[in-house]
A and B are shown apart, each in its own frame.
Chain A
Amino acid sequence: MRSRLPLAFVGLLAVAAATLAPATLAQDRARPERIAGKPNLNGLWQAANTAYWNIEAHSAEAIKGFWQLGSLAAIPAGPSFVVEGKIPYLPEALAKRDENRAGWPASDPEAKCYMPGIPRATYMPYPFEIVQGEGDTILFAYTYANANRPVFMNPEDHIRAPVDLWMGRSNGRWDGDTLVIEVNSTIDQTWFDRAGNHHSAAMIVTERYSLISENALQYEATINDPDTFSQPWTIRMPLYRVLDANARLLEFNCVEFAEQLIYGEYFTNEPAPAARP
Chain B
Amino acid sequence: MPQKIVAATALAGLITLGAAVPAAAHHSFAAEFDINQPIQLRGTVIRMEFTNPHSWIYLRVTTDSGEVQEWAIEGGAPNALIRRGWNRDSLPAGTEVTVLGYRSRDGTLRANGASVTLPDGSTLNASSTGAGAPSAQ
Interface residues, chain A, with chain B CB atoms under 8 Å away: 109, 112-115, 145-150, 152, 154, 156-157, 159, 161-167, 169, 185, 189, 254-255, 258, 262-263, 266
Contacts and interface: CB of A to CB of B under 8 A. Distances in A.
Contacts of B5: 157, 159
Contacts of B82: 162-163
A156 B12 contact: no
A82 to B, nearest CB: 27
A254 B20 contact: yes
A114 B21 contact: yes
Interface string B5-33: 10011011001111111101000000000
Contact of B12 (A115, A147, A161, A258): A161
Interface of B: 1, 4-5, 8-9, 11-12, 15-22, 24, 50, 78, 82, 86-88
Given A161-B12, A163-B87, A165-B16, 10 more contacts: A113-B20, A113-B21, A114-B20, A150-B15, A154-B4, A156-B1, A161-B16, A162-B82, A162-B86, A163-B82
B40 to A, nearest CB: 26
B29 to A, nearest CB: 22
A65 to B, nearest CB: 23
Nearest to A149: B15
Contacts of B1: 156
Contacts of B12: 161-162, 165, 169, 185
A263 B21 CA distance: 11
A203 to B, nearest CB: 14
Given A150-B11, A152-B8, A156-B1, A166 B19 contact: yes
A141 B86 CA distance: 28
Counting chain B CB atoms within 10 Å of each CB, the highest count among A149, A163, A165, A166 belongs to A163
B21 A163 contact: no
A166 B16 contact: yes
A2 to B, nearest CB: 37
Given A157-B8, A169-B12, A263-B24, A114 B88 contact: no
26 contacts: A112-B21, A113-B19, A113-B20, A113-B21, A114-B20, A115-B16, A115-B19, A147-B20, A149-B15, A156-B1, A156-B4, A157-B4, A157-B5, A157-B8, A159-B9, A161-B12, A162-B12, A163-B50, A163-B78, A163-B87, A165-B12, A166-B19, A169-B12, A254-B20, A255-B20, A255-B22
Contacts of A169: 12
A236 to B, nearest CB: 27
A235 to B, nearest CB: 22
Nearest to B55: A163
Contacts of A165: 12, 15-17
Contact of A163 (B4, B17, B20): B17
Contacts of B21: 112-114, 255, 258, 262
A263 B5 CA distance: 38
Contacts of A263: 24
Contact of B19 (A112, A148, A156, A159): A112
Contacts of A255: 20-22
Contacts of A185: 12
A159 B15 contact: no
Contact of A115 (B8, B20, B24, B88): B20
